[in-house]
Structure 1
Amino acid sequence: MPAPTMEMFIDMCVMCVQANWEHIPSYESGASLYLRPVLFGINPQLGIKSAKDVMFAVMASGVGTYSGGKSLTAVSAVMSRNYDRAATYGSGGYKLGANYAQSLHAYNLAHKMGYRELLFLDSATHSHIEEFGSSNFFGIKHGCYITPNSPSVLPSITNKSLRKVAEEFGLKVERRTIFVDELETFEEVNSCGTAVVITPISRIDDKATLESGTITREYKYSETCGPISEKLYNRIVGIQKGLEEDTYGWCMFVNDPK
């Protein structure tokens, strides 16, 4: 599909913010204006082929905290051994609605069983970590920030930003294969993404199937956010809120349209 240029992308985001200026939550509320860029084909066709004409749009919505609760509240997770988020050599590394649709059934099952997060494994062998249903995985141990390196994992800008900050704090950053058995060696485990930045994981259950009532193995972590993860979180959020110096040039100021 034809893609917008970087300049067009940024200009559209700025225009969207200015058009929704009155809906920007107050600074004190802790809420934010969430932007969602979308690109979809608009050719009048029934055949299965790539669209030549596309529409690029940016939607805005005021949002509170993603979980509706206190930030950095630790949650439980379960592995998905009999449902896959994306196929090996498939489209998992791209921001496509289809990737989320494929995970919804398994995600709903996990939620009904009381889990807040669902951890997907590689579809070929189910032996190593890929990512959570809507966010990336990273773990902390021995002064290292470790996150999966897989072509079927969505490249998260939040994960990338956290890696930069981790290096700033003197942590070694590793992007590599993480086998399931390595979960027991982590000091801190988190999911990370745009909406939450970091969600600490207190427990990961492993079961033969998602529907099974038997837990074959349980990986336990702290019931609160780990000290290193909390430090990373505070640095990212501090930059976002203008409380700390943006030494990376990440922030863009948008002028009041009036």
Structure 2
Amino acid sequence: MAKDIDWANLGFGYIKTDKRYISHWKDGEWDKGTLTEDNVLHISEGSTALHYGQQCFEGLKAYRAKDGSINLFRPDQNAQRMQRSCERLLMPTIPTEKFIEACRQVVSANEEFVPPYGTGGTLYLRPFVIGVGDNVGVHAAPEYIFSIFCTPVGAYFKGGLQPANFIVSDYDRAAPKGTGAAKVGGNYASSLLPGKEAQKRNFADAIYLDPATHTKIEEVGAANFFAITKDNRFITPFSPSILPSITKYSLLYLAEHRLGLEVEEGDVYIDQLNDYKEAGACGTAAVITPIGGIQNGDDFHVFHSETEVGPVTRQLYDELCGIQFGDKEAPEDWIVKVK
């Protein structure tokens, strides 16, 4: 099957791979976990994941380096974020070592599906935890499943590193003091309608403002927002309802330590877009998507260009991807070798 994949034209979709990892939590502890060929979960009809949204997930990638080796990018950070999500939803956490080892096993068992170096493709890993078991009351589940599957993917937004336009949504992505900072399915379910409405109007996705005042940018679809000020500072929104993107925090580090920019997590007011010369959306799936323009009510604001990538955004993209694919030196502990 793998040899029949058109690596150069991969989209961001599901392709069934050979093996996935599964581990069960029961009687207060996780079992050892195993690899299985079965891509269908068998769970109780009373599972809390189905009725009360007791579930969370992660997303990370495996990258084929030039020498044929395979890199995982900062999997410890995904493990820690999943631990925070689990704690928020009263689910047992996955130890970091167990999480990383499970990722290694899945990538190794599906090595044929890791796209070749130079194609731009990656192997996307989707770890998740769900509450299962016979249940009907509104309380934490009696049992849990931790699983990881993988699929080869290309660019999340069509066109790869090309500017895309976005529109400010009237909907809220998350509630103040809600689950916005946890990677839970409900946050994404609520984004489906505004995302579809944005696409109907020929925008890539919706931009969400802060739920309390609707004056500040928080997220771009399922990605984090960043911008470059006219005096060359890298700024990204800070809010307790934003999902803390591993890509965003990596870019903050690279902007400061590799590009020499001042960096800041702070408020990005929707009525002050003229302060920024470049903007982008970033995340594991999107990597970096340059933002050409933002539609806010009747106003359409263009940053660097609707067709050309800004120079700072391109530098950040090249630096990040160079590290992920092993072409540039990585900061300490950022890369875990699978092979």
Q: State if a TM-score over 0.5 links the two structures.
A: yes
Q: Which structure 2 residues correspond to residues 118-197 of structure 1 after superposition, within 5 A?
A: 118-141=206-229, 142-168=231-257, 169-197=259-287
Q: Following the alignment from structure 1 to structure 2, what is the Cα–Cα distance between the partners of residues 228 and 21?
A: 34
Deviates further, 24-33 or 7-16: 24-33
Residue aligned with 1:187, SS? strand
Q: Would you say 1:37 and 2:121 are equivalent positions?
A: no
Q: Would you say 1:101 and 2:189 are equivalent positions?
A: yes
1:5-59 per-position Cα deviation (integer Å, ceiling 9, x unaligned): 0001101100110111121111132211100110001131011111242111111
Q: Would you say 1:59 and 2:146 are equivalent positions?
A: no
User: Which residue number corresponds to residue 311 of structure 2?
Assistant: 227
User: Which residue number corresponds to residue 249 of structure 1?
Assistant: 333
Find runs of 4+ consecutive structure 1 residues off by over 3 angstroms.
none
Residue aligned with 1:244, SS? coil
The amino acid that maps onto 1:238 is: G
Aligned residue pairs, count: 245
Q: Would you say 1:199 and 2:281 are equivalent positions?
A: no
Q: Indicate the percent of aligned positions where both proteins have the same amino acid.
A: 42
Contact preservation (8 Å) 2:223, 2:286: no
1:163-189 per-position Cα deviation (integer Å, ceiling 9, x unaligned): 010011211111112211121210101
Contact preservation (8 Å) 1:33, 1:60: yes
Q: Following the alignment from structure 2 to structure 1, what is the Cα–Cα distance between the partners of residues 233 and 101?
A: 37
User: Which residue number corresponds to residue 28 of structure 1?
Assistant: 118
Residue aligned with 2:100, SS? helix
Under a length normalisation based on structure 1, what TM-score does the superposition of the two structures give? 0.92
CA RMSD of aligned residues (A): 1.1
Q: Which structure 2 residues correspond to residues 65-76 of structure 1 after superposition, within 5 A?
A: 65-69=155-159, 71-76=160-165
Residue aligned with 2:336, SS? coil
Contact preservation (8 Å) 2:255, 2:316: yes
Gaps of 5+ in 1: 208-214
The Cα of 1:106 is off from its aligned counterpart by 0.7
Contact preservation (8 Å) 1:122, 1:129: yes
Q: Following the alignment from structure 2 to structure 1, what is the Cα–Cα distance between the partners of residues 228 and 122?
A: 28
Q: Following the alignment from structure 2 to structure 1, what is the Cα–Cα distance between the partners of residues 300 and 118?
A: 39
The Cα of 1:157 is off from its aligned counterpart by 0.1
Gaps of 5+ in 2: 1-90
